Structure 1
Amino acid sequence: MTDPQSTTGRPQGVADQDVVDVLVAGHREVEAIFVELEGRQGAPEHRRQLADVVIAELVRHSVAEEQYVYPAARRALPDGDQLAEHEIAEHAEAERTMKELESVDPSEARFEPLLAHLTKAIRHHVQEEESDLFPRLRAAMAREELVELAGKGAGRQADGPDPAAPGRAGPPAGEPAARPRHRPGGPAPGRPRRPPHLHGGAARQAALTTRPALPPAGSSPGRPGRRRRL
């Protein structure tokens, strides 16, 4: 069996993946769930389950990006600060939509418009990152640095500890601390967990058996001390 191909077309194993490979794989997993939700198939309980999974995926993905990728962009790119702030603002917009979607039953009229809005926003965000930010990072940084980023924690979305957990190690020296995040809570009573056909690796499966507890809708998106953003 041949080795999986990276986003640049080079053969590689998991140990050789750089941070872009890891994040692009996360994008593809999220897109697969969006496509299934857009099919509007299955019972409301199953669609609620899929919505919970995609929210959990997006929260973990954003933690990885804001903890490691955007600080790297600030250091490596001449307009890195501007790019990072733009991407973080898009995370905040998506989080507001997720907070609303989290509390809406799939049988309610608001569910589909909220889901469509979230899907559109995330696809736009992904397109920007994959066509601009990620290629520029690969051009500006040594591959060894990008692989190291993946190893240090940009893959946190897949199998890392919750960044808000007590005792979590801080960011590397010289990097800004991540904004405070709310710890994910357990699944809501009566909510099903990750569908069997969506199980990735064992670590991802374990990470996604809990749903993120998003902050109240309408919270002010301030700076330090702010609520956790997607």
Structure 2
Amino acid sequence: MESIYDILIKEHNMVSDLFQQVLRDNSRETLLKIKAALDPHMAGEEKLFYSELEKKEELSELVSHAVEEHDEARSIMSELESMKEGDKNWTSKIKELKESIDHHVEEEEGEVFEKAQKVISQKKAEEIAQQYLEFKKSFKQETPASMH
């Protein structure tokens, strides 16, 4: 059975591929695909994975740092949403978002997952994975498909 780590890593890779695509095509459509992938991912991580880690005092600082990085990504995404594709800062803002996400993923897959595996059993990691997948299904139903 898949653990939360397997799922999150797969999603990180998918988002990384989408960033490669948006840097090639510079399209709003690709950016919206990134947003559609990131929103439930970050919300699910915070609600299910990070909340579990926060129960361990030694991980609370790590978790609050990760949440700050999510907030930074949301803020940059929000700026991008208010821009037009051809805007002079469009590409540099996309690169800023990509760098922010890349940095977060690197820390998460390295430090966060490593420490989490020491305090969360494999069974619990699999339970969180199931809850996460359920959460994402309901998240998609509640969120309008288009933001135009």
Mark yes or no: TM-score above 0.5. yes
Q: Which runs of 5+ in 1 are unaligned?
A: 1-15, 166-182, 190-230
- Provide the rounded CA distance (Å) in 1 between the counterparts of 2:144 and 2:92: 26
The CA RMSD over aligned residues, in Å, is: 1.9
CA-to-aligned-CA distance 1:13-50 (integer Å, 9 cap, x gap) = xxx100111111110110000011222x3xx6xx1100
**1:24 correspondence with 2:9:** yes
**1:155 correspondence with 2:114:** no
CA-to-aligned-CA distance 1:38-69 (integer Å, 9 cap, x gap) = 22x3xx6xx11000010111111101110111
> Match of 1:108, SS?
coil
Match of 1:185 among 128, 144, 147: 144
User: Which stretch of the first structure deviates more once superposed, 99-108 or 26-35?
Assistant: 99-108
- Provide the rounded CA distance (Å) in 2 between the counterparts of 1:186 and 1:18: 28
- Which residue of structure 2 lines up, in the alignment, with residue 204 of structure 1? none
Q: Please state how far the C-alpha of 1:133 moved relative to its aligned partner.
A: 0.5
- Provide the rounded CA distance (Å) in 2 between the counterparts of 1:156 and 1:72: 17
1:185 counterpart letter in structure 2:
P
Match of 1:144 among 100, 123, 139: 123
- Which residue of structure 2 lines up, in the alignment, with residue 56 of structure 1? 36
> Match of 1:155, SS?
helix
**1:74 correspondence with 2:48:** no
What is the count of residue pairs matched by the alignment? 148
- Provide the rounded CA distance (Å) in 2 between the counterparts of 1:101 and 1:84: 26
- Provide the rounded CA distance (Å) in 2 between the counterparts of 1:109 and 1:137: 41
**1:115 correspondence with 2:100:** no
Q: Is the 8 A contact 1:94 1:118 kept in 2?
A: yes
Q: Which runs of 5+ in 2 are unaligned?
A: none
- Provide the rounded CA distance (Å) in 2 between the counterparts of 1:106 and 1:61: 24
- Provide the rounded CA distance (Å) in 1 between the counterparts of 2:6 and 2:58: 23
Higher relative contact order (CA 8 A, sep 6+): 2
Q: Please state how far the C-alpha of 1:156 moved relative to its aligned partner.
A: 4.9
- Which residue of structure 1 lines up, in the alignment, with residue 18 of structure 2? 33
Which structure has the highest helix share of the two? Answer: 2
> Match of 1:162, SS?
helix
1:155 counterpart letter in structure 2:
L
- Provide the rounded CA distance (Å) in 1 between the counterparts of 2:74 and 2:147: 18
1:105 counterpart letter in structure 2:
K
- Please report the TM-score for the alignment, with normalisation by the length of structure 2: 0.91
- Provide the rounded CA distance (Å) in 1 between the counterparts of 2:18 and 2:145: 21
State which structure, 1 or 2, has the greater radius of gyration over its C-alpha atoms. Answer: 1
Q: Is the 8 A contact 1:64 1:156 kept in 2?
A: no
1:129 counterpart letter in structure 2:
E
1:116 counterpart letter in structure 2:
K
- Please report the TM-score for the alignment, with normalisation by the length of structure 1: 0.60
Q: Structure 1 vs Structure 2: percent identity of aligned residues?
A: 23
